[in-house]
Structure 1
Amino acid sequence: MQSFYPSQIIEYLYCPRYTYFEYVLRIPQYEDKFYKVTRGREVHNEKLEQNKAYLRKKIGVKNKWVDQYLGVEGLRGKIDEVLELGDNSFAPLDYKFAYWKDRVYDTYKQQLYCYAVLIEENFHAKVNKGFLVYTRSKHKLIEVSIPPEAKKEIKASMEKMLVIIQQNKFPKATTFKKRCVNCTYRNICIK
């Protein structure tokens, strides 16, 4: 069974052709060349070291697991922090090497939705919300609601990705043409 990382599901949701180019044609992206990705990984590692003994009292954390690699059928990933909250629900917390700009980007939400699926199936607990920490804005903490429909969309996306791969199916491109401007596959994609 094919297993996806949250970043690959986010790419699919951004444009289904990412899945085709990456898995069917096996043309890799070279995202490690981008500064924010590399620096984000460095900040992530620094934060894990600094926060090992820190429970977030502000959000009612009873317990936490740091740097958790979790997997279920079709999905796997490493979560910065898995939090057990005072109401016995769980929540993912993710550090972002970014400034808070008064809105949560869809990609950040989708990543938390993927983590919610992983946490619910591995910890057998409800996940109703997640948290983002914007490290470039003095570690601003933002709460993000995780509705049941969002988790269903993640699972449906995984199934659609499998169809692309197993049937060698060339999907329709995103309807948002502005996304094509910075796409790593723009030079080989048939519009």
Structure 2
Amino acid sequence: MQSFYPSQIIEYLYCPRYTYFEYVLRIPQYEEKFYKVNRGREVHNEKLERNKEYLRKKIGVTEKWTDQYLGIEGLRGKVDEVLQLNDGTYAPLDYKFAQWKDKIYDTYRQQLYCYAILIEAVFGGKVEKGFLVYTRSKNKLVEVEIKENAKAEIKKSMDEMLEVIQENKFPKATKVKKRCLNCTYRNICIK
């Protein structure tokens, strides 16, 4: 059974052809050359040393698990923190090497939705919200609502990705053409 990381699902939601090029044709993206990707990885490692307990108290955390690698059939990923809240629900917390600009990007939401699915399956509790910490804005904490339909969209995308891979299916490109401008596959993609 194919198992996806949240980043792969996010790419699929951005443009379904990412899945085709990377996992059917096996053409890598070479994302390592991008500064923010590398810096983000460093921040995830640094945050372990500068853990902000006051953030946890502010949102009613009763227990936390750090750097949790979780996996279920079809989905796997490493959650920065899994939080159990005082109402008995769980929540993912993810650190972002970014500044808060009064907007939560879809990719950040989608990553939390993936984590919600993993947490519910592995920890056996309900996930109704997640949290983002913007490290370049003095560790600003932002709450994100996680609805059932958002988790359902992720699960549907996982099924569609499997179909692309297993059936060697060339999917339609994104309808948002400006996404093609910075795509690593723009030179080989048939528009």
Q: TM-score with structure 2 length normalisation? A: 0.98
Aligned mates of 1:59, 1:52 — CA distance in 2: 12
After superposition, where does 1:1-191 map in structure 2 within 5 Å? Answer: 1-51=1-51, 56-191=56-191
1:50 Cα offset (Å):
2.1
Aligned mates of 2:100, 2:55 — CA distance in 1: 22
**Is the CA contact (8 Å cut-off) linking 2:70 and 2:118 kept in structure 1?**
yes
1:51 Cα offset (Å):
1.7
Q: Superposition RMSD on alpha carbons, in Å?
A: 1.1
Gaps of 5+ in 1: none
* Deviations 1:97-136, CA, capped at 9 Å, x for gaps: 0000101000000000000000000000000000000000
Aligned AA (1:162): L
Q: TM-score with structure 1 length normalisation? A: 0.98
Aligned AA (1:20): Y
Aligned mates of 1:54, 1:168 — CA distance in 2: 49
SS at match of 1:181: helix
Q: Aligned residues, how many?
A: 191
SS at match of 2:182: coil
**Is the CA contact (8 Å cut-off) linking 1:23 and 1:165 kept in structure 2?**
yes
SS at match of 2:49: helix
1:154 Cα offset (Å):
0.5
Aligned mates of 1:55, 1:189 — CA distance in 2: 44
SS at match of 2:114: helix
Aligned mates of 1:56, 1:186 — CA distance in 2: 42
1:53 Cα offset (Å):
6.7
**Is the CA contact (8 Å cut-off) linking 1:52 and 1:66 kept in structure 2?**
no
Aligned mates of 2:126, 2:105 — CA distance in 1: 23
Gaps of 5+ in 2: none
1:140 Cα offset (Å):
0.3
* Deviations 1:2-40, CA, capped at 9 Å, x for gaps: 000000000000000000000000001111110000001
Which deviates more from structure 2 when the two are superposed, residues 144-153 or residues 48-57? 48-57
Aligned mates of 1:170, 1:162 — CA distance in 2: 12
Change (3 A) 1:64 1:55: farther
Change (3 A) 1:16 1:57: same
* Deviations 1:30-82, CA, capped at 9 Å, x for gaps: 11110000001101100022228777100000000000000000000000000
Aligned mates of 1:47, 1:68 — CA distance in 2: 14
Aligned mates of 1:56, 1:69 — CA distance in 2: 20
